[in-house]
Amino acid sequence: MTVAELPVEPLHRRLGVTDEELDEIRDRLGGRDPNDLELAMFSVMWSEHCSYKSSKPLLATLPTAGAGVVAGPGENAGVISIGDGLAVAFKIESHNHPSAIEPYQGAATGVGGILRDIFTMGARPIAILDALRFGDPGEPRTRHLVDGVVRGVGGYGNCVGVPTVGGELVFDPTYAGNPLVNVMAIGLMEERLLTLAAAPGPGNLVVLFGS
């Protein structure tokens, strides 16, 4: 069989859009088929990385309220009271596919994103942790990914003075195609300095930076 004779997989499947999702896209577009650009945009925005379509239902089963919970779902990071007016902020994020494409920058920007979320709550980041999953360590690509990801996590943290204090590393053929790169940041804050994602009510000032 020549290359020309190989069956061509539909574009939406190559972009990670299921047949059911394609039907939903058609409904949203008034019954018409999306053009290639629209399909690409839907595939990005409806990806697990952007929409958490697979993990959200699972996360929704977990408890989110309690006596010590200061800030929960919907905020930039979770915040738990630890007494004496102090609280701990924490955020975890996965940067799996970006790290599979460019391991150093994929991991580094994952760390940057969660440090940003800790800052925005009014906390000071004090530690980073990671949970990493890769394929067969005997494969050259796996070694390339491990080297880049580990350097990326540590490199970004070192630049801003936040140490990586722990983590775990597991190798399994399951992760040969796409590694799992989960990073977590922890911050310490005074509860009185808590800054929430929204500031409702009249009289608030709006500041615009840049053009």
171 bridge partner residues: 134
Q: Which of 12, 49, 97, 144 is catalytic?
A: 49
Q: Which of 12, 95, 97, 144 is catalytic?
A: 95
Is 97 a residue of the active site? no
Which residues are part of the catalytic machinery?
Answer: 49, 95
